[in-house]
């Protein structure tokens, strides 16, 4: 209940809030009911990326994938072997890679070049 209270307070104070609603009977109905109260709601992707399938689709080895997207190789291997599960931020990054691998790669290259310039 505390999270719900804080979300309502944030909505009142800023006009925006983010809520996780893992189980909703009808997403369409919920969005319609919120709209009746003048609340614009959007759904956010929360599916898990099949990392091995993504890597195979990109035709990259584990080493190439790890280097290209700045992911620790051991971590990548643990994810693929289901020993560990990527957290929500990493899942979001993996969804970006799945949708736009070139954009994700370019962003990483820019990040790496700025590190090199800082030295």
- Please state, in angstroms and rounded to a whole number, the distance separating the CA atoms of residues 81 and 79: 5
Q: pLDDT tens digits, residue range 46-71?
A: 778 999 999 999 999 999 999 999 99
Q: Name the band, by pLDDT with cuts 50, 70 and 90, for residue 72.
A: very high
Residue with tokens 């736009």: 100
| Domains by residue range for the chain, with CATH | 2-36 (no CATH), 51-118 (1.10.260.40)
Q: First vs last Cα of the chain: how many Å apart?
A: 48
- Please state, in angstroms and rounded to a whole number, the distance separating the CA atoms of residues 105 and 41: 31
Q: pLDDT tens digits, residue range 14-30?
A: 988 887 777 888 888 98
* Cβ-contact 10, 16 below 8 angstroms: yes
pTM for this predicted structure? 0.62
| Cα angle: 86, vertex 91, 96; to 5 degrees | 145
């Amino acid at each position: 209940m505390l999270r719900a209270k804080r979300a309502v307070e944030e909505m009142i104070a800023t006009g925006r809030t983010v809520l996780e609603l893992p189980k909703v009977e009808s997403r369409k109905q919920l969005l319609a009911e919120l709209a009746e109260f003048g609340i614009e709601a959007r759904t956010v992707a929360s599916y898990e990326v099949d990392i091995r399938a993504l890597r195979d689709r990109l035709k990259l080895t584990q080493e190439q994938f790890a280097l290209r997207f700045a992911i620790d190789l051991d971590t990548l291997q643990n994810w693929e072997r289901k020993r560990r599960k990527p957290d929500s931020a990493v899942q979001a990054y993996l969804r970006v890679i799945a949708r736009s691998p070139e954009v994700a790669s370019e962003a990483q290259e820019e990040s790496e070049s700025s590190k090199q310039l800082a030295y």
